[in-house]
């Protein structure tokens, strides 16, 4: 089996020759692999696609995420300017949108909420998949799929159906108050956010990806109640999953933080897998397997702080335990959220060693044919 076949089989809860390795990685790790600074990644979004292919080669990932690319002419909106003695990234008109820190990492400038007035919701524009195509946003994604997509599962990113968008548009304090004070507005806002994500996902699928990442970090039970998740978020996660399934893509749902109280509701959205199983001990993984493992693939679960601070041998043992508890079918080995910026590469290699070392002894030839 190759990586793409393993991930698809795991999401279908079918036998695999070994557990697939598909952690959550970001530009932090990608920039280190290709030897570039974070500011370089911000100034040249094409480097992201270079780093994705490089990470697959360096670590042997079976799956990885890739967003759609920027529109043609993106260079005009990525300038460096000094304002008040500080370095900023600016748009072509000189408007700053991120400040450069001492380590050259761009930090986005947080402005006023977009929707100060709820009546402004109709000003939020939905870019269609066709427009992304016409703007050239799919060209770098198609090239990445051409390079590695025959052997590696590539997931497009189409997230923020619910709370993430509400918080971005209203601010975190007001967004949480809106859940109680104006549920009708919340539903309308999330409907718009979901339509935005669906168009992005449709574009990514047209670009050749095999699956779609959906979800919202702000939908975690660490932030909102399970009741609010069921009322507001679950219907829209289910709607996105149904749409992407109808287009032939696998779908997995990402909700970091404490997801244990909402595991069944996450599985009820109809997705193929749920991730990243953040903050879960081995006992937590065992509980997740017992509760929803017969309905949905589990993805992740390896503590991010261990990936940052533990030894390679300790990470290896954690991975072996997770595979033992969650495998042999319906599990994808991965990190409990983004692998930290300064995580030793040896610890990521330890994840791959654990995946390689546990051979399930299953003849998968028939599955692959």
Write the DSSP symbol of residue 162. Answer: S
Cα distances (Å, whole numbers) of residue 80 to 37, 77, 85, 110, 294: 14, 10, 12, 18, 51
- In 10 A of CB 85, how many CB atoms? 5
pLDDT tens, the chain, 369 aa long: 999 999 999 999 999 999 999 999 999 999 999 999 988 998 899 999 999 999 999 999 999 999 999 999 998 878 888 898 888 888 888 888 888 886 667 888 877 788 988 889 998 999 999 999 999 999 999 999 999 999 999 999 999 999 999 999 999 999 999 999 999 999 999 999 999 999 999 999 999 999 999 999 999 999 999 999 999 999 999 999 999 999 999 999 999 999 999 999 999 999 999 999 998 999 999 999 999 999 999 999 999 999 999 999 999 999 999 999 999 999 999 999 999 999 999 999 999 999 999 877 666 555 455
Domain ranges of the chain: 3-74+113-368
Return d(Cα 209, Cα 239) in angstroms, integer.
19
Give yes or no for a contact between 94 and 171, defined as CB atoms under 8 angstroms apart. no
pTM for the model? 0.94
Q: Which of 281, 167, 146, 150 is nearest to 224 (CA)?
A: 167
Rounded to the nearest 5°, which phi and psi values hold at 273?
Answer: -150, 155
CATH class name, domain 3-74+113-368 = alpha beta
Distances (CA, A) of 78 to 50, 88, 134, 291: 18, 10, 21, 47
Peptide bond into 276 cis (omega under 30): yes
Report d(CA 245, CA 16) in Å as an integer: 22
Residue 160 near residue 197 (C-beta atoms within 8 A):
yes
């Amino acid at each position: 089996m190759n990586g793409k076949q393993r991930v698809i089989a795991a999401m279908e809860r079918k036998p695999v020759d070994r557990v697939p390795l598909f952690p959550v990685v970001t530009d932090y790790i990608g920039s280190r692999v290709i030897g570039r600074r974070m500011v370089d990644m911000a100034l040249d979004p094409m480097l992201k696609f270079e780093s994705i292919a490089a990470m697959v080669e360096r670590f042997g990932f079976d799956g990885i995420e890739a967003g759609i690319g920027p529109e043609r002419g993106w260079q005009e909106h990525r300038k460096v300017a000094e304002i008040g003695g500080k370095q900023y990234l600016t748009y072509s008109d000189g408007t700053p949108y991120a400040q450069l820190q001492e380590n050259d990492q761009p930090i986005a400038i947080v402005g006023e909420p977009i929707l100060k007035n709820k009546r402004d919701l109709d000003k939020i524009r939905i870019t269609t998949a066709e427009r992304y195509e016409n703007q050239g946003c799919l060209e770098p994604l198609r090239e990445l799929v051409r390079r590695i997509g025959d052997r590696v599962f590539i997931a497009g990113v189409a997230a923020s159906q619910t709370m993430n968008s509400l918080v971005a548009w209203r601010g975190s304090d007001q967004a949480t108050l809106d859940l109680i004070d104006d549920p009708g507005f919340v539903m309308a806002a999330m409907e718009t956010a979901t339509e935005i994500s669906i168009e992005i996902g449709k574009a990514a699928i047209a670009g050749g990806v095999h699956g779609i990442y959906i979800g919202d970090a702000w939908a975690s039970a660490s932030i909102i109640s399970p009741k609010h998740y069921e009322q507001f978020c679950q219907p829209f996660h289910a709607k996105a999953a149904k749409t992407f399934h109808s287009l032939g893509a696998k779908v997995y749902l990402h909700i970091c933080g404490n997801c244990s109280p909402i595991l069944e509701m996450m599985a009820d959205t109809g997705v193929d897998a749920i991730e990243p199983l953040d903050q879960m001990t081995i006992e937590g993984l065992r509980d997740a397997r017992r509760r929803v493992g017969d309905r949905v693939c589990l993805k992740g679960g390896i503590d991010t702080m261990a990936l940052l601070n533990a030894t390679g041998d300790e990470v290896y043992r954690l991975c072996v335990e997770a595979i033992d508890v969650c495998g042999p079918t319906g599990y994808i080995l991965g990190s409990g959220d983004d692998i930290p910026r300064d995580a030793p590469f040896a610890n990521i290699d330890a994840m791959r060693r654990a995946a390689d070392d546990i051979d399930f002894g299953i003849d998968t030839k028939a599955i692959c044919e």
